[in-house]
Structure 1
Amino acid sequence: MKVGPLMHVVFVEPRFPGNQKDFVRGLHEVGAEVSAVGEAPLDALGSDLHAWLTCYEQVGSVCDEPALARAVQAIHRQRPVDRLEATVEAHILPVARVRAAAGLAGTSVRTAHLCRDKPVMKDALREAGVATAQSMGGGDASEILKFGRRVGYPLIVKPRAGAGASGTYRVEDESQLAELLPTLGVGVGAEVAVEEFVDGHEAFYDTLTVGGVVVHDFMTHYYPNVLEAMRTREVSPQFITTNRIDTAAPYAEVRDLGKRVIDALEIGTSATHMEWFFGDKGLKFSEIGCRPPGVRAWDLYCAANEMDVYREWAACIVHGRKAQEASRRYSAGIVTLRPESDGRIAGYDGLDRVEARFGESVIDVHLPPPGTPTQPVEAGYMANAWVRMRHPDYDELRNMLDAVGRWVRVRAT
């Protein structure tokens, strides 16, 4: 492997979502030569990306594998390419296929496929002895209904290659399942993932790995669980990364679970994002992506650990090692503030109280100005207003985020 300024990394889609440019920045800062393939025209990239990139190729879609391959080849003719990297869920598998065809180092097609196809992933992990929910994938309604009779209800139904809670349904009985399946295209060519419902606390475990060895890891909790958070306007959901990962004994079991998943799926040098549940049935693995988490969770890891996680990822890619230790000084979290109704933002109540009580703990806020159209509840944690905070004590931070959720009202008309 080349290191330092000799390594030329092509990064896929540097402009959207907004924090994509931080991966490019990290690669540039650790000494790589960086080029990119994206969907925006060159003049839309902005001055930062122009300064960091050596070459850029525009394509209609970065998931169009022939177009992506041609773009990488065009860059390679100008500067020999050493690595091809992507960090967005939908990009991981097509990039892996182009990478393999070009003979470049990085996540394999097998690993990318296992991390993308949830039923196949769970089959592979069960074979490796990892505790996970019973599941199946397919497009035959009769087989799905048989699975429901065998496993029992409730069930979770979602896109076979989905990410997060997008397009995910909790189904309470067979009649509801039979009614739902045609709306998802089952019977006319579409396939879905169907899983046993696992009750319990939901959280996620994220890592940076080098050659399959975890060099950085982070543990983050949801309050409430994601399905409730993405379906219920009345709650102000939050997720919090804890600074107790090295000291609280229960996290050792999650870390061991994560290591077994990484080994089973043969994840090499990559970011990972793993969802897990703990309840009456014990610790259960949910799913993994060989990519960073969404909703800018890495920003919280940066603030909590007083380090640049994007740069750490780049150091792992380029130099095969981490550059800095996580301080674990803070826990950090986000609380989502939902508009009282759909419409347009009219204003905010309670912000002065938050500033007076917790101002020194606020990392940043997002408050769409009056007149901004609201986004639906299911659009996610950062769709409307939010506040991000940090504090050395996890329990105190959770109380603070709860208070922000109670005090701040987002008025809409």
Structure 2
Amino acid sequence: MTRQVLLLNSDKPEVLRALARRPDVTVRVMTRKVYADLYRDHETAYVDSFADLTQVEQAAYELAAHGPVDHVIAATEKSVVAAGLVRALLGVPGPGVDQSLWATHKRAMKDRLRAAGLPVTDYAQAATLSDVPRAAERTGWPIMIKPVFGAASKCTYRVDSAAEFTERHRAGEFTDLAEKRLPIQVERLVRFTHEYHCDGVVHEGEVAHAAVSRYYLPPLRITPNLNSGYVADQKDEFSQKVLSLHHQVVATLALPAGVTHLEIFRTEAGPVIGEVAVRPGGMGISRMWWHAFGLDLWEEFARVSTGEPPSHPPRTPHPATIGRTRLPALPGLRERVLSTPGVREVLTPEECASPSHLEAYFEAPDERSAERVIADLHRLAVPPA
């Protein structure tokens, strides 16, 4: 029997390729018209934005007219809440609107985590930019401000004082945040030494696979062109604490199935949760997992999202430290990177579906050596002035 999947997606081809490997799966797509060429072979309905739930409702009924839907899959962070609504409208099993909000709305997420006793920084919600100083009175300065819905580090700012906020607001520095027309998450700045992420595969409410990785530099402190990191020692005491937190987060959010990407700060007091997403991490994290563990997170995402059990790792984890870095696609850089000792693979912009970027994957004897490799690769991409 053919399984009918309604996919909410943008320009991420990885999930489409994973679903295409299943001969018993038929995919219908909800997306924006700018991505129409990617879905020529599929029944497709269009929305201007996944945030416009009226359009989402209409598109869902348009696609449902082609027959019953067995699974609804949100492949991007922006589409998670929309997918929760579609499941409710069409009577499809899976996370509903409330559960979807816990995994995307930054205040709702942290309300849930804090109520469960999990470590998060102090936070408050501001209705508008002008309301930020009042919210910061509850959290204390300095703060980070960001939209309550948002992916990656877009429209995210550090502000150290009320006077600084007023000056920058008058200068128009937060225009992009204001143009989101969303409530603003105000969070007390976390003083941390390093930033980590824990990625996992969840099936029937249980964590089937999980691993901790460390960012070479925090995403907010480095250009996306050089985003990089490596798989941490899973037996390390801090890694063990993060893995335990990951299990607790999955249980707290009542996630039945999916792939998680949990951001963690390392502080003197221990791990502090940043945010969690319910989709594979970007910037080459899934491919890094494949090199380290023989598992493709997009393939696992397709499996558990369509009711299949997760894969069994085809081999033991790679004995070396596996790392990754994104690099600008400069002329001749791919060849220079491939000649660097330890580099296993360098994907072109076409192969990694990231215009103007390369993605390099390498192995090193240990974490300190991995950081040296990343620094060397960054110097190749950004030579000294």
Q: Common fold, TM-score beyond 0.5? A: yes
Tell me, in whole angstroms, the C-alpha distance in 2 between the residues paired with 1:61 and 1:204. 32
The one-character-per-residue Cα deviations of 1:103-160 (angstroms, maximum 9, x if unpaired) are 1112221111122221222122111100110001122667642443454332111112
Q: CA deviation at 1:32?
A: 2.6
Q: Does the aligned pair in 1 maintain the 2:129–2:184 contact within 8 Å? A: no
Q: Corresponding residue for 1:292?
A: 280
1:41 Cα deviation (Å)? Answer: 8.0
Q: Distance in 2 between matches of 1:44 and 1:383?
A: 16
Q: Is 2:29 the counterpart of 1:36?
A: yes
- Structure 1 residue 171 and structure 2 residue 159: aligned? yes
Report the AA paired with residue 209 of structure 2. Answer: H
Change (3 A) 1:58 1:134: same
Match of 1:197 in 2: 189
The residue type paired with residue 287 of structure 2 is D
1:98 maps to: 86
Match of 1:335 in 2: 325
Equivalent residues in 2 for 1:199-218 (5 A)?
199-200=191-192, 201-218=194-211
Number of the residue aligned with 2:230: 240
How far has the Cα of 1:60 moved from its partner?
Answer: 3.6
1:390 alignment counterpart: 362
Mark the runs of 5 or more structure 1 residues left unpaired by the alignment.
Answer: 340-344, 369-381
Relative to the length of structure 2, the TM-score reads 0.84
d(CA) in 2 for partners of 1:205 and 1:272?
Answer: 8
Question: CA 1:387–1:143 in structure 2 vs 1: closer, same or farther (change >3 Å)?
Answer: closer
Partner of 2:344: 362
Q: Which amino acid aligns with 2:260?
A: T
Aligned mates of 1:323, 1:198 — CA distance in 2: 36
- Inter-partner Cα distance in structure 1 for 2:141 and 2:27: 50
Judging changes above 3 Å, is the alpha-carbon distance between structure 1 residues 265 and 177 closer, same or farther for their aligned structure 2 residues? same
What is the match of residue 261 of structure 2? 273
**1:305-320 alignment to 2 at 5 Å?**
305-320=293-308
Distance 1:22 1:230, change over 3 A: closer
| Identity across the alignment (%) | 20
Write the distance in 2 (CA, Å) between the matches of 1:176 and 1:134.
Answer: 20
Equivalent in the alignment of 2:38:
45
Q: What is the aligned counterpart of 1:401 among 358, 374, 379? A: 374
Counterpart secondary structure, 2:6: strand
Distance 1:27 1:174, change over 3 A: same
Per the alignment, do residues 212 and 178 of structure 1 end up closer, same or farther by CA in structure 2, a change over 3 Å counting? farther
Relative to 1, partners in 2 of residues 1:328 and 1:190: Cα closer, same or farther, differing over 3 Å?
Answer: same
Aligned to 1:8: 4
Q: Does the CA contact (< 8 Å) of 2:7 and 2:72 recur in 1?
A: yes
Counterpart residue type for residue 215 of structure 1: A
TM-score of the pair, normalised by structure 1: 0.79
Tell me which of 11, 36, 43 is aligned to 1:56. Answer: 43
Q: What per-residue deviation string (whole Å, max 9, x for no partner) do you get for residues 384-408 of structure 1?
A: 5444113163423332222111234
Change (3 A) 1:172 1:264: same
Q: Distance in 2 between matches of 1:8 and 1:41?
A: 24
Structure having greater relative contact order (Cα 8 Å, sep ≥ 6): 1
How many residue pairs were aligned? 372
1:219 pairs with one of 212, 223, 235:
212
Calculate the aligned-residue CA RMSD, in Å.
3.2
Q: Deviations over 1:238-267 (max 9, x none)?
A: 22234x32x333222111111111111211
What CA distance in whole angstroms lies between the structure 2 residues aligned with 1:197 and 1:296?
Answer: 27
In 1, Cα distance between equivalents of 2:359 and 2:62: 43
